């Protein structure tokens, strides 16, 4: 089990919790009003269930407002991501665990998700590192490898 490290003021929900289902996005279109787009292809829904962090990459910077999840066997849509203006109000834990620094820096750099103290808390160094999960590999010492690379 991966522990979530959250030093931001973004609240969490746990609706996905390893379940399968379908997704839909509420986005702000070019005309300025919100539009609802359902993920129709089963393979895309499976991809998002396996890698929930990919949900935030589906639209251009500033367009995504809300993501909703419909678990298999139910008729209810559950909000798993909500942004109002420049504040992300809450996010599902599954998305947070899979979210990379690069996604935040490129698509949500003007929101409260981009927080250097959060990056420092999880020891992230590159855009490929996770933003809400510790990036330290337990029990591995890379000091010898670094010395060998420096010698080259």
Q: pTM to 2 decimals?
A: 0.84
Of the chain, the end-to-end C-alpha distance in Å amounts to 38
Query: Among 44, 38, 105, which residue's Cα sits nearest to residue 66?
Result: 38
Tens place of pLDDT for every residue, the chain, 152 residues?
A: 678 999 998 999 999 999 999 999 999 999 999 999 999 898 999 999 999 999 999 999 999 999 999 999 999 999 999 999 999 999 999 999 999 999 999 999 999 999 999 999 999 999 999 999 998 876 555 566 666 667 76
At 77-101, the pLDDT tens digits run 999 999 999 999 999 999 999 999 9
Residue position matching structure tokens 């070019």: 30
Q: Residue 137 has what pLDDT?
A: 75
Q: Residue 107 has what pLDDT?
A: 95
In 3-state terms, the chain is what percent helix, strand and coil (to 5)? 30, 25, 45
**Assigned token pair, 17:** 């919790």
């Amino acid at each position: 089990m991966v522990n979530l490290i959250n030093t931001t003021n973004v609240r969490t929900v746990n609706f996905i919790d390893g379940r399968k289902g379908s997704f839909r996005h509420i986005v702000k279109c070019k005309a300025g009003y919100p539009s609802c787009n359902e993920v129709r292809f089963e393979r895309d829904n499976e991809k998002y269930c396996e890698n929930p962090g990919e949900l935030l990459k589906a639209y251009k910077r500033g367009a995504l407002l809300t993501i909703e999840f419909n678990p298999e066997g139910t008729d209810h849509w559950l909000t798993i991501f909500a942004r109002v203006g420049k504040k992300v109000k809450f996010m599902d834990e599954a998305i947070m665990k899979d979210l990379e620094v690069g996604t935040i820096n490129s698509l949500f750099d003007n929101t409260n998700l981009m927080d250097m103290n959060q990056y420092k808390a999880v020891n992230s160094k590159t855009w490929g590192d996770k933003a809400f999960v510790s990036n330290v590999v337990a029990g591995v010492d890379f000091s010898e490898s670094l010395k060998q690379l420096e010698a080259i």
